[in-house]
Structure 1
Amino acid sequence: MNELQQRAAALRLHGLLAHWPEIAHADWVPQLLDWEEQERSRRSLERRLSDARVGRFKPLADFDWAWPTRCDRQAIEDLMSLSFMADATNVFLVGPNGIGKTMVAQNLAYQALLQGHTVLFITAGKMLGDLAALDGDSALRRRLRQYAAIDLLCLDEVGYLSYSSRHADLLFELTNRRYEHKSTLITTNKSFQEWNEVFPNAACTVSLIDRLTHHSELIVLEGESYRVKESRERAQQQQKRRKPKT
């Protein structure tokens, strides 16, 4: 096969291939293949975006890097290359509420989608609740396989709720399945020393942290909530508009 035939075969355009001797040198063939590849790529991205549940987010270009009192901008921008996914490195974004952890994670998830990876963006509470609610071992194994197969699993808000030993065991099982195969991105407002508060009665917490952090990159953000800052600015603007004119 020449290059055009290979592209047609990859697109499974069997009708075109069946008549290849008749149309091989037609001027419209390269354009047709271009259109088909572009349309399939667009539809694939739309489907993966829908499945990923990334939601609306602020682009990283609009992030106020000067607002956090601690923020390694270079490290975050390096993550956007997605090189950490090549060796299944995990990423932790640690910091208080409203500092921008989720926004950074959403940008990384979107970049991974653009590069053709499968992605799921989900809160820890929703995922663990989903797993814990399944009846029967076969259904649980099937769902664990689905979560384990995702190229980049983004777990948001680890530490905002506390979980039972059952939830901890499920997260440990999923971590084992993804270990050294796929990357997991976690946003949390708790240091690892505080994860006993997240899984207060779990025996596997130390092992869970050990497995998650074995191949990982940790980025800490510190400072006041950006949402509080924006709310304060909006209140000031509204107060100015309400001020009576003299």
Structure 2
Amino acid sequence: MSNAQIDTFKLPVMLTALRLPSFQKHWQEIAEQADKEAWPAARFLAVLAEYEMAERETRRIQRHFNESKLLGGKTLATYQFEAVPSLPKAHIEALAGGDWIERGGNLIAIGNSGTGKTHILCAIGHALIEAGYRVLYSRTGDLVQKLQIARQELALENALAKLDKFDLIILDDITYAHKDQAETSVLFELIARRYEYKSIAIAANQPFSAWDQIFPDKAMTIAAIDRLVHHATILEMNAESFRRRAASDNQKAYANAPATTSVKSKPEEITDQDTTK
């Protein structure tokens, strides 16, 4: 093709057709720099390609964050590792790398309420998305309800197939969900389908010995736990509740406040019913 045949005025249209938005956004600025510094054509093209790849990755990460439904603000940087001595930061950072995802492994965080189980699983989920994995967060009860509706509409296989696209599904509050036999069945099908194939992360306030409240059928309880723990990393997270400790600190601050200090309201006391994830 001769230079006479190339119409540079058509370049924006061609770049749009080729779906190269970063090329279109930056080419004029980079071209001016290239002309000024006498770059070879290969360097000019390489710089534009780097812009395109970097901005594509940014868009991918944002798109996957949006679809993940992960809770915002719950990252490794905001987790109080010093409050849970049984949870080494280095171990969690290694899990955030995702090697266990490649093996179809699972992750189970077990401990009393308020120790940040949801936080740590969401933080790992955020890191995994940045590493290129696809993650979905859901309360166990919400996801089970959706699968049960799909079964009633004879669309359960299609619903499960859509979940297959996620490398990791985070099931929160699994021991809070008391299910009937039909709902228990779809939860077990999800666990069985992903066994040694795709990963599941679970936050549970109760030890495995109490999981008969989730799966009322004893044989199904054993089978579900067996599949979950076979290739699992188990995080024991028993410590003082973050929220209870924060409330206690607030109450002490109120009690120690000078009489002249204006305090709008006394902090409410935390009861055993209060929980923090």
Q: TM-score band (shorter)?
A: 0.7 to 0.9
Tell me which residue corresponds to 1:99.
115
The aligned length equals 227
In the alignment, the residues of structure 2 paired with residue 238 and residue 43 of structure 1 have an alpha-carbon distance, to the nearest angstrom, of: 46
Q: Secondary structure at the match of 2:83?
A: coil
Contact 1:164 1:201 (8 Å CA) reproduced: no
Instruction: Call closer, same or farther: CA 1:71–1:32 in 2, change over 3 Å.
Output: closer
Select the structure of larger CA radius of gyration.
2
CA distance in 1: counterparts of 2:243 and 2:209, whole angstroms: 27
The answer for unaligned runs of 5 or more in structure 1 is: 1-11, 17-23
Aligned to 1:80: 96
Match of 1:126 in 2: 142
| Matching residue of 1:140 | 156
Structure 1 equivalent of residue 26 of structure 2 = none
CA contact (8 A) 1:125 1:161 kept: yes
Q: Determine the structure 2 residue equivalent to 1:149.
A: 165
SS at match of 2:233: strand
Deviations 1:179-206 (CA, angstroms, capped at 9, x unpaired): 1111111110111111001223575221
TM-score, normalisation: structure 2? 0.74
Aligned to 2:229: 213
Query: 1:233: how far off?
Result: 1.6
Alignment gaps of 5+ in structure 2? 1-16, 24-39, 262-277
Rounded to whole Å, the distance in 2 between the matches of 1:107 and 1:124 is: 18
One-letter amino acid of the counterpart of residue 125, structure 2: A
TM-score normalised over the length of structure 1: 0.83
For each residue in 1:21-75, what CA deviation from the matched residue of structure 2 results, as whole angstroms up to 9, or x when unmatched?
A: xxx9365322221221122111111110000011223432343333236434443
Counting only pairs closer than 5 Å after superposition, residues 165-244 of structure 1 correspond to structure 2 as 165-201=181-217, 203-241=219-257, 243-244=259-260
For 2:176, give the aligned amino acid.
Answer: Y
Structure 1 partner of 2:180: 164
Residues 192, 209 of structure 1: 8 Å contact kept: yes
Q: Check conservation: 2:84, 2:238, Cα contact below 8 A.
A: yes
> Could you tell me how far apart the structure 2 residues matched to 1:112 and 1:127 are?
21
Identity of aligned residues (%): 27
Coordinate RMSD, CA, aligned: 2.5
Counterparts in 2 of 1:78 and 1:31: CA distance versus 1, 3 Å: closer
Query: 1: CA distance between counterparts of 2:64 and 2:91?
Result: 26
